[in-house]
Amino acid sequence: MHFYVIKSRTLKIMAFMLLVCVTLAINWGGGDALAGVFFYKQVRKVPIYCVETTNKDIAISFDAAWGSDKTEDIINILNSNDVQATFFLVGMWVDKYPEMVKKIDEAGFEIGTHSNLHPDMSKLSADQIKMELETSVKKIEDITNKKVKVFRPPYGAYNNTLLEIADSLSLKTIQWDVDSLDWKGITSSQIASNIISKVKPGSIILCHNNADHIVEALPAVITALKSQGYNFVKMSDLVYESNYTISSTGKQIKNK
């Protein structure tokens, strides 16, 4: 009999805890919150892959880690077509091509960091991540005298620690929802098709400054997207500065 009383009381406590958890789950957004309450699941943070917007604004970006011989041609094509763009530069690339960094900046394009040494930053310690970001940002800012606002992780690899440290340094972590796949050595027409077929308002396009055939592909991409009414803007002009949420799929949404 004594055993039965203890068991009944335990069940009542468990039922009460379950009710509290369900209430929290409803308030926080459903089943994932409930699982987090029970299993202490850490909410996985997500970088910005695209932006929700009613405007037909898009951002084209060029990652630069190795090589520079196509960069000036890219600059000239963008400028001649009145297209804004963002270049994500690795610190060691900045060290090797400081004059090209100046040309990118003087041409009016935005420069973000792509790390210092291009490691998989999701495998680094917090101190190493901070060093990668601070070192690369300083190298860029010393040349441009402009604040670096955006960051793209090498290989697209990230974790909560990386995103939190980037945020603490006032860097927005940027991925992409349109991959040109230019790094695969595919033809210019394939690069153009990969981009044109997938772009939508708020898209972020991934290209590389030294990819095979990117120079040949760019004019076709620009002509096609402009004819569809798209407007190329800098990354920091596309993304929201504050008062936003990021969906589980990486879409940045302005809070109502």
Instruction: Compute how many other C-beta atoms are within 10 angstroms of the C-beta atom of residue 28.
Output: 13
Give the number of C-alpha atoms closer than 13 A to the C-alpha of residue 107, restricted to the C-beta side: 27
C-alpha span between 40 and 51 (Å, rounded):
30
C-alpha span between 202 and 191 (Å, rounded):
20
CA dihedral 37, 40, 46, 51 (to 10 degrees): 10
Phi, psi of 142 (to 5 degrees): -65, -30
Catalytic-role residue among 114, 118, 208, 213: 208
Return the pLDDT at 147.
98
Q: What is the pTM of this model?
A: 0.84
114 exposure class (CB count in 10 Å sphere: 0-12, 13-18, 19+): buried
* Average pLDDT estimate for 77-96: 98
| Residue 63 bears catalytic tag | yes
pLDDT at 82 > cutoff 80? yes
pLDDT averaged over the chain? Answer: 89
* Average pLDDT estimate for 123-147: 98
pLDDT at 106 > cutoff 50? yes
Return the pLDDT at 197.
98
C-alpha span between 101 and 103 (Å, rounded):
5
* Average pLDDT estimate for 55-82: 98
- Joined tokens for residue 80: 């001649």
Comparing 27 with 78, the larger pLDDT belongs to 78
pLDDT, tens digit (0-9, with 9 covering 90-100), for 173-216: 999 999 999 999 999 999 999 999 999 999 999 999 999 999 99
Q: What angle do CA 5, 8, 11 make, to 5 degrees?
A: 150
Q: What angle do CA 209, 215, 216 make, to 5 degrees?
A: 150
Return the pLDDT at 43.
87
